[in-house]
Amino acid sequence: MCFSPFLYLLAVFTFTTSILLLCLFALHEHFFPLPPPSASPLCNETCGVISDQAEAKLALPHLLFELLAILARHLPRYVAACLAWLWPIVLGFLVLPVTFVAFLYGTALLVQLYILRHWIVGESNISKDELLVRLMAAVWEAHGRAFHGYEVFGMEKLPPPGEGAFLIYYHGTLPLDAYYFMARHIILRDRHPIPVVDRFLFRLPGLQQILRLTCAMEGSIEECVSLLNPSLTEANRSHHANYSPEETSEPQSRKGVNPSRSGQVLLLSPGGVREAIFSDEYYSLLWGKRRGFARIAIKAKKPIYPVFTENIREGVRVVQYGKRKFRLFIGLLKLERTLCAHPASSVVEGSCYIGLARNLCLTWYPEES
């Protein structure tokens, strides 16, 4: 089932246009009366028509204000009449189905949250941040199961906890698959993947706490390498700068693994927001000249795990008409982070597939792009 805000806009536009046309037809004779019959000669008639046209042009502002006054006076009556005629149709074909679907999926969401209630609470000595992370993971897990029947295939291909994993995924219109995967990974493996996001997200009000809890980062190449393979980074530091690991050792984590010694799960989409907006129904990759992910994998000496979620673009559709024409204009003005139309959301099934590990050779990309 598809809920499109464009349908509501179209209905409002049609309703408003109909009211304006009715008012114009009703007031046409008042604003543009027919000229009275006259027995004057042809010249006098022509001169009279010209003078009437000139007076009409001068009186146009006055007529517009009068039209607005009449519309304001009679508009409530027309609106009430139209609503009295339309409310059975709106109630039968719009309100009741939407309400039914909302209650249905709201119930499914609550059921999934109830199933995960014991995992959310966990141990009695759990910290506040850990409790919030579990709550967010449970909400997104319930949303994915209730609305999209989300499943992950190939989780066993990822390395065990303590080893770094570099996951590359296709960026859909909305990165719902990234949220669902992070939630599923936290629940199944009790390990939080670190997403690499665009810097504009840190400037949006109200998202700072969520980004902090999810450990989201802008992610330079050096930072990503240090997260994937901390031992390699420490070896390089000790070799080049007389680095002493004992002096900068960090406290043990809750699982008894030193976070400076264990690799993290890194989640990155090379296409980013540009791929989310300008990609099509054929799931075209719009990576351009972005080779940073390859440098990260090579420097960290870690393989890449490709991740793809089917129907990720069918879940949320965007306006396709004219998108290619304005792509260059939007790219030049850097509007791809702010200009995105989501006219319809659909309840479709989505399954995530994790591919086999891919090792990149050192000659895969030029050293300087």
- SS3 assignment, position 151: strand
Residues facing residue 358 across a β-bridge = 304
Selection from 85, 70, 65 nearest residue 24 by Cα: 70
List CB contacts of 48: < 8 A, sequence separation 6 or more: 35, 38, 40
List CB contacts of 92: < 8 A, sequence separation 6 or more: none
Phi and psi (nearest 5°) for 270?
Answer: -60, -30
Long-range own/partner contacts, residues 319-325 (CB < 8 A, 24 or more apart): 319/343, 320/280, 323/277, 323/278, 324/278
For 149-175, b where at least 16 C-beta lie within 10 A, e where not — what string?
Answer: ebbbeeeeebeeeeebbbbbbbbbbbb
CA distance 71 to 162: 71
User: Does the annotation count 30 as an active-site position?
Assistant: no
CA distance 58 to 276: 52
Of the listed 28, 62, 118, 171, which one is catalytic?
171
Radius of gyration of the chain (CA): 31
Q: Which residues are known to be catalytic? A: 171
